[in-house]
Structure 1
């Protein structure tokens, strides 16, 4: 069932989108929980599934990662990246062009590390960095004895452009927006 309808005004769409993103965080099995992040490695796009963790009051998006990961290396070289959300039940696709900020060993990471519990903390404390060659699968699961936040990072994504596509049998709706001083400015475009 579509959530963006033909009777919605253009200026209503950003608030509908951000409301749906908040649902993605609060509802465990919501399709917006797992999304695609695209970074650039030299000139090659690199996409991967990630877990969308939080939407800030400023509507910045937060994701967690190991500071030794390829995505961190990519973002240190080029802070621009894209994040794609898709809800197959609603036929809603949202793409953000963003500028990233990497947080490590600061107040923000300490705040959220407290909520990383159980085996989740092991994702950020493996002996070998992500993407390291290993001799067997067990080596990839070896963790440091001290489960600390040394490698825990948060990537904060500040949206600068947003593309929204609502698929519907009654007619697709598509709009592009750019971040403006007091919100979003945009236009409907041909789907």
Structure 2
């Protein structure tokens, strides 16, 4: 079970996080933004019943931690969710996609092409839902920090982000009936 309280690492220097997490981070350079992003593939942790091998840390220009993201090679399941809400309470928001429409699709021109991909553009509405509705993301608004869970069901991956800043989007609350 998780013993690291990621919310307590927010606002600390990256070197403190490295000691606490027990992982050395590799810096990924982004020249035109005022943040630094560090990642470690040497990370190994059972976090609420799901194992993670990858963690990323966003810092300001002085390497003070603004966000920590734990990446999972599977979608968060009900057991994880129940364990997580025992520790952090119910999420303030659970958003699911609704009224999804295909806007455009492209297909490969040549079947023999060794590299090809199909691209599909979709639009839809984000509405409040439940965990059983296979949410796209969930948000916890805590005192002094935020938790965001991103679930990508088709790709079978998910992420949990602890951050000092609120999510960069504002979704209207349309309660699902």
- What TM-score does the superposition give when structure 2 sets the normalisation length? 0.32
| Higher normalized contact order (CA 8 Å, seq sep 6+, divided by chain length) | 1
Q: Which has the higher helix share?
A: 1
- What TM-score does the superposition give when structure 1 sets the normalisation length? 0.30
